Amino acid sequence: MPRPTASRGPTGTTERALAPDLARGFMLLFIALANTVWYLWALPSGGATMHPPSEDLPDRIAQFFTIVVVDMRSYPMFAFLFGYGMVQLARRQEAAGSDAKAVAALLRRRNLWLIAFGAVHALLLWMGDVLGAYGVAGLLLGWLFLRRRETTLLVWGWVLTGLLVSLSVLGLLSMPFLGSLPDEDAAGMEALAGSIADPSFLTAALDRITVWPGVVLLQGVFGLAIPAAILFGYRAARMRVLEEPGAHLPLLRRTAVIGISVGWLGGLPLALYQVGALDLNATQAQILTLPHMTTGILCGVGYVALIALIAHRIQNRDREPGVVVTALSATGKRSLSAYLGQSVLCAPILSAWGLGLAAWMTSWTMFLYAVGVWLVTVVIAYGMERAGRRGPAEVLLRRLSYRRVNTPSPASAPEGDEGPHQERTTP
């Protein structure tokens, strides 16, 4: 008779590694900063960056920082953690006795439900939803690569990155010969954000759900950045880098220094163009988005490495983590709820179909609003942590993904929450 398949429930709090939660909790700030730029619907679009042109110094400072440090850097970081978590979920289920077929089915259900969450998110609130992209990439890459050798994962991760590098180089070489197409470029960006400026909720919702499939495919498959980051996450999970950072300190230091340095340098040209320090036509500026996105992969992985080093230092101290670390970690545990909560705090308040507050805002005030939104989610997550409550979106995703699980013992009872970006790790 076939051996019955066991299945573990979600990971308990005592099993969690600090680094992934800390990374997600802090980097959700960058998600808020990147997304809220699109809500400046009353100002003319900057075309290549969506940051509106401005002569005011506070606006230029906010734009420069966001382009260099945040834009196209945070999503690859979350994609890395998403891939890392897929490997950890599979490993944990297999250790509990699940066979490969049952594990694959669990991952498939989880990614399919993530796509469904993304569709609802896009329909109701935010056309730039990334949950669907992670779900599609998780389905495709899980099928193709999850069981492959470590060398295969590393090679294909660099192959995808190399394709982006090649396209970037070709684009840069062609820049001197490119004429300006400002009308087409601006029209394309404004059409993508059209639902935010629409005063009708119904037509805005139709616009969002119509645009969303293209966003999913572009980010999750054809954009290459998210798939590459997921493959690097697979590889790092095989090495247990985030569970055992002390065993990988040289690697983490090199990754942090090189990745962040390359990422920030790669963001400089587009930032200089945005603030008027680099004279380019609109088409040439659009070409700069390729190297900007490519260097964002390394920057995102560099951010993970830096936060892993910080988490390692915190864990090596004799005293308990302070309020700030606890609050950030609590937000990371509830990253799906926090991510969706950002849209709840932004879309109805800032969009033209809602209160339309963004009509009176510019880049620097929107920057402050994004920080405020993130702080609200951190405070709420901290309160839920103190009360022993899970994130509502995490609870729903678990119930839909785990059909039947063994009743856990008190020592392993699921107390923490996993977000969309990573199944919890065990130290």
Q: Is the dihedral of CA 334, 380, 304, 122 positive or negative?
A: positive
Please tell me the distance from the alpha carbon of residue 390 to that of residue 383, in angstroms, as a whole number. 11
Radius of gyration, alpha carbons of the chain: 21
pLDDT of residue 14: 44
Please tell me the distance from the alpha carbon of residue 78 to that of residue 23, in angstroms, as a whole number. 9
Please tell me the distance from the alpha carbon of residue 179 to that of residue 281, in angstroms, as a whole number. 7
Structure tokens at 156: 């294909």
Give CA torsion, residues 154, 157, 160, 162, to 10 deg: -60
pLDDT of residue 54: 84
- Segments of the chain with pLDDT less than 70: 1-15, 46, 179-192, 404-427
Instruction: Specify whether the CB–CB gap between 309 and 245 falls below 8 A.
Output: yes
Which residue has tokens 């979106």? 393
pLDDT of residue 192: 64
Please tell me the distance from the alpha carbon of residue 210 to that of residue 206, in angstroms, as a whole number. 6
Nearest Cα neighbor of 134 from 148, 147, 149, 119 is 119
Structure tokens at 400: 């839909």
